[in-house]
Chain A
Amino acid sequence: DGGITQSPKYLFRKEGQNVTLSCEQNLNHDAMYWYRQDPGQGLRLIYYSQIVNDFQKGDIAEGYSVSREKKESFPLTVTSAQKNPTAFYLCASSIGFRVTAVGEKLFFGSGTQLSVL
């Protein structure tokens, strides 16, 4: 079945440590996104990628980094510079970034809960 796989489901970070969240899709989608979800704040965009080897900052990129070396993969690294990393992280993809067709929509993964030890 096609879809988006996020791993791990739960992740713990120690002080000063970098951690990487995995996001893999087999939908052959060009565009991928990372959102952060905090209680009472909805989802906020961290980074997005329109195509392989390209990515742009979203609304809350500070303390995060990404790479897009393969079409299927868009890992997110939470660096030690992110002082408040505890949140639920959702990865999403869409057919194409510049597609504005009615039928085009976001597909979401099942998320990773990151907590600080």
Chain B
Amino acid sequence: AQTVTQSQPEMSVQEAETVTLSCTYDTSESDYYLFWYKQPPSRQMILVIRQEAYKQQNATENRFSVNFQKAAKSFSLKISDSQLGDAAMYFCAYRSYKETSGSRLTFGEGTQLTVNP
């Protein structure tokens, strides 16, 4: 079974600065997807960024980018030019490439990000 670990329960960053959230995972599969979800105080889950394991190029979405290290099984999220609206709980998630697993996600414990003005 796959596991996802987020070792930073809380992080803080100054507005306009850059912050990196860590995520490691354990799997025996070679093909899979990785995701970062954001959960603001409204508790709505919002997809931030996704990465296919077979792609070497790191995914980027505006101010959000990932550092995907497949051999190390590491998938960190970098937020540049942090904004007050980035304050939220961030979850790292894993999805198997196997059809039998469908869209089942395995989530990490979450990192609470605070953005200080």
Taking Cβ atoms with an 8 Å cutoff, the residues of A that contact B are 31, 33, 35, 40-45, 48, 50, 58, 88, 90, 92, 94, 96-100, 102, 104-106, 108, 110-111
Contact B103–A42 (Cβ < 8 Å): no
Interface status of B86 (Cβ within 8 A of chain A): no
Task: Collect the chain A residues with CB atoms within 8 Å of residue B4's CB.
Answer: 42
Q: How far is the CB of B45 from chain A (nearest CB, A)?
A: 4
Residue of A nearest to B5 (CB): A42
Query: Which size bracket describes the interface of B in this complex?
Result: 20 to 34
Contact A42–B109 (Cβ < 8 Å): yes
The 10 closest A-B pairs by CB, nearest first: A97-B102, A42-B107, A108-B45, A94-B103, A43-B107, A98-B99, A42-B109, A111-B43, A42-B110, A42-B108
Q: Quick one: which of B42, B50, B91 contacts A43, CB cutoff 8 A?
A: B91
Number of inter-chain CB pairs below 8 Å? 58
B residues 13-55 near A (Cβ < 8 Å) are: 42-45, 47, 50, 52
Please report the C-alpha to C-alpha distance between residue A57 and residue B115 in the assembled complex, in whole angstroms.
38
Contacts A45-B104, A106-B105; is A100 near B45 (CB within 8 Å)?
no
Q: How far is the CB of A61 from chain B (nearest CB, A)?
A: 13
